């Protein structure tokens, strides 16, 4: 089980020339998810803008030493050229999204001015400052937001926009090179590189949402990267960087473990938001209960009339002990187990009634409403 806490970083923002930072290659992470926490990067907390740029660096004095000149050639040069080409292609499609409380990133989705980002980037705001890679800024308005999948769409009125190409995330393989493009720490148009470490991860956000189809990557994801682009070497967006894992023992970031919402999932949600402003076909499983953690497990405090749980016979006061034989010690575990299913799936739920007796119900999952 992967849980998480949300953290905001300081915003170092000022008008900054585009920066491309290619991080050191990090080996694929095959570690177990047990005990790992993640943090969602919403907008960075705003602070007064520095007068002379956002980052101050002190460089040591340089000394001249004899050395051998190395010439890069062959496959290494080809890979480097591909990185450069992809960055040049995608950079015009990645934007900065600012609210009154912070900033994040976004991806130009179409030439009409629709921009895909994370729901936690827009938060409760309905108006935004959107800055393109060329430095031009526009007022953005909220088209729609779907927190269960952490996807939102913002709209701007502008000409000459360069939409990104959204690829098929199901075609990814573990080991594929990817680039994370966004505005970490307010540094516009920054890039980090890594590989796809795992596919189909289920991770939880601080709000309790469970993302069932996340891409794990070793590309560094920092505050402000949220809502940006995870891009393959064909220049196609395959994910939206959203979360960074944290080490619960050290209390800091777990280097080389980040998560992105798959492009296929993002497209399903974005298309519906653009068409109607809401999601009517989520494809997400739904029990129809409200939960609170108790000493013996998740305690049902409300049951939606006519919903799947009510139809199965589950009642207020029941404690959910297991799903398909898997213990549910807390509500987050239950949410994740349900999120791993699809509407129409039948699950076995063992509950303890207020009387102290146990029962097992067959529950046909519904579809998560808008």
Q: What is the pLDDT of residues 243-279, one digit of tens each?
A: 888 776 766 667 889 999 999 999 999 999 999 999 9
Of 33 and 172, which is predicted with more confidence? 172
What gap in Å lies between CA 304 and CA 306, rounded to an integer? 6
- 295, exposed or middle or buried, with CB in 10 Å at 0-12, 13-18, 19+? exposed
The residues annotated with a catalytic role in the active site are: 120, 150, 226
What gap in Å lies between CA 194 and CA 21, rounded to an integer? 12
* 132 three-class SS: coil
Mean model confidence pLDDT for the chain: 82
Give the number of other Cβ atoms within 10 Å of residue 157's Cβ. 10
* 336 three-class SS: helix
Residue 266 CA to chain centroid, in angstroms? 10
All domains of the chain in start order, with CATH: 3-22+75-276 (2.40.10.120), 285-367 (2.30.42.10)
Q: Is the pLDDT of residue 141 over 80?
A: yes
Lowest mean pLDDT among 65-79, 146-160, 322-336: 65-79
Which H or E run contains 78? helix 74-90
Of the candidates 243, 238, 237, the one whose C-alpha atom is nearest the C-alpha of residue 220 is 243
Predicted pLDDT at 218: 96
Q: Give tens-digit pLDDT for 102-137.
A: 899 999 999 999 999 999 999 999 999 999 999 999
Of the candidates 164, 189, 177, 152, the one whose C-alpha atom is nearest the C-alpha of residue 279 is 152
What gap in Å lies between CA 120 and CA 152, rounded to an integer? 8
pTM over 0.95: no
Confidence of residue 48 (pLDDT cuts 50, 70, 90): very low
Lowest mean pLDDT among 39-53, 133-147, 196-210, 272-286: 39-53
Mean pLDDT in residue range 18-31: 35
Predicted pLDDT at 46: 36
């Amino acid at each position: 089980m992967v849980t998480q806490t949300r953290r905001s970083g300081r915003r170092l923002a000022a008008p900054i020339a585009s920066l491309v930072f290619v991080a050191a290659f990090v080996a694929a992470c095959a570690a177990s998810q047990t005990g790992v926490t993640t943090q969602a990067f919403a907008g960075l907390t705003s602070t007064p803008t520095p007068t002379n740029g956002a980052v101050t660096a002190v460089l040591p004095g340089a000394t001249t030493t004899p050395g051998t000149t190395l010439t890069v050639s062959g496959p290494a040069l080809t890979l480097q050229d591909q990185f450069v080409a992809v960055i040049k292609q995608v950079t015009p499609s990645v934007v900065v999204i600012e609210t009154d409380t912070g900033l994040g990133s976004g991806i130009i989705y179409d030439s009409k001015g629709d921009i895909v980002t994370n729901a936690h980037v827009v938060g409760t705001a309905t108006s935004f400052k959107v800055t393109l890679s060329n430095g031009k800024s526009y007022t953005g308005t909220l088209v729609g937001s779907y927190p269960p999948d952490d996807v939102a769409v913002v709209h701007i009125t502008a000409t000459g926009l360069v939409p990104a190409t959204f690829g098929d995330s199901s075609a990814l393989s573990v080991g594929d090179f990817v680039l994370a493009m966004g505005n970490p720490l307010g540094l516009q148009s920054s890039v980090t590189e890594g590989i796809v470490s795992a596919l189909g991860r289920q991770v939880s956000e601080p709000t309790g949402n469970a993302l069932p189809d996340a891409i794990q990557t070793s590309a560094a994801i920092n505050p402000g990267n949220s809502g940006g682009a995870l891009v393959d070497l064909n220049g196609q967006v395959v994910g939206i960087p959203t979360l960074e894992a944290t080490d619960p023992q050290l209390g800091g970031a777990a280097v080389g473990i980040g998560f992105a919402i798959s492009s296929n999932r993002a497209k399903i949600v974005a298309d519906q938001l653009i068409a109607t402003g809401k999601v009517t076909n989520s494809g997400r499983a739904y029990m129809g209960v409200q939960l609170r953690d108790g000493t013996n497990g998740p305690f049902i405090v409300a049951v939606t009339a006519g919903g799947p749980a009510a139809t199965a016979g589950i009642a207020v006061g029941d404690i959910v002990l297991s799903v398909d034989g898997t213990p549910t010690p807390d509500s987050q575990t239950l949410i994740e187990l349900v999120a791993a299913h699809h509407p129409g799936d039948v699950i076995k739920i063992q509950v303890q009634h207020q009387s102290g007796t146990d029962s097992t119900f067959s529950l046909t999952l519904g579809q998560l409403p808008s």
